[in-house]
Amino acid sequence: MREIDVATITQNIKEMCIEANHFLTDDMKKVFNQAVDSEESPLGKQVLCQLKENLQIAGDDMIPICQDTGMAVVFINVGQEVHLTGGDITDAINEGVRQGYVEGYLRKSVVKDPIYRENTKDNTPAVIHFNIVPGDKVDITVAPKGFGSENMSRVFMLKPADGIEGVKDAILTAVRDAGPNACPPMVVGVGIGGTFEKCAWMAKKALTRNLDEESDVPYVRELEKEMLEKINKLGIGPGGLGGTNTALAVNIETYPTHIAGLPVAVNICCHVNRHSHRVL
C-alpha cells in the first residue's frame, strides 16, 4: 500500500490549472502548425497565423491563451493500492483549482447556482470524474473547458437501425450547427455507445486523448479519418471565415450499449484544446 497525502494532489492540480491555461500540449501544437502550413484560404491562413502568434505571446508573457479560462474538468484515476491521507480528495482537488485560478490570476467563471448565477469567485467547484484502477499511482488530467465550444455539444439518441451512417450524420450535424460559434479550428470529441450520460463522458474524455495516438479499434480509426476529412470539406474554416481547416482532429471513444439504443455524443473544443496530464 502506497500513501499519498492529498496536499500533493492539491499542489499538482494548482500547477496543472495554470499550465493548461498558458501552454498547449505538444500534440496540439503539432496539428496546429500542420493546419497553418496546409490551409488553402488566404484569410484562413491569416487567422491561423494570428492564433499562432497569440499562442506564442501567451507562453512567453504568461497570459492566458484565451480570456475564457474554462470550468475545470478533472479526470482522476486512483490506484486501488493507494491510501490517500491528510483529508478528503474532493476537497483537495477543489482547493487545487481554487489556488490555481486565484494565484494564477485566471478568470473565475463558475456560478454557485445555474439560475441565480452568483459567482463563486475562485472557479470552484470543479467537475470531477473519479475512477478506481489497479496499481499504486494517481493519474490526473485537468481540462479547463471553455463554454463557447461547450455550448455547441450535442447528444443524439439514435435508433440501432441508424447504424454507422446515422453516427456520421450526427457528427456532421453537430459540427455544421456549431459553425463559427465553437471558435474553429476545433477538436471534435465523440462518444458512441453506453447510455445517455456515458456517451457524453466519453466525448469529453476523447478531447484529452493524445492526438498522436490512434484508436485500437480498426473501424474507429477509419471513422476518425473519414470524419476529419468530411468536416474539413464543410468550408467553415478558421474563425468561421472559410477555409480547409475546420477541425484539427476527431477523437472517438466507444462502449457497449443496449440492444435498443445507439447513443452518440459530440463534444467540441475550440483550437485551445487545453489539458494537462500528470501521474503521481
Work out the pLDDT band at 85, boundaries 50, 70, 90.
very high
Task: Please write the tens of the pLDDT for every residue from 209-263.
Answer: 999 998 999 999 999 999 999 999 999 999 999 999 999 999 999 999 999 999 9
Tell me which H or E stretch contains 176.
helix 163-178
Q: Would you state the pLDDT for residue 197? A: 98
Give Cα 28 distance to the centre of its chain: 11
CA 172 from centroid of its chain's CA atoms: 18
Tell me the pLDDT tens digit for each residue of 30-49: 999 999 999 999 999 999 99
Q: For the whole model, what pTM was predicted?
A: 0.95
- Residues 114-168: tens digit of each pLDDT: 999 999 999 999 999 999 999 999 999 999 999 999 999 999 999 999 999 999 9
* Class of CATH domain 2-22+65-145: alpha beta
| Alpha carbons within 13 A on the beta-carbon side of 201 | 14
Longest Cα separation, the chain: 58
Residue with cell 480498426: 218
The distance from CA 223 to its chain's CA centroid, rounded to whole angstroms, is 19
Under 8 Å CB-to-CB from 222, ≥6 apart: which residues?
A: none
**Domain boundaries along the sequence of the chain:** 2-22+65-145, 148-278
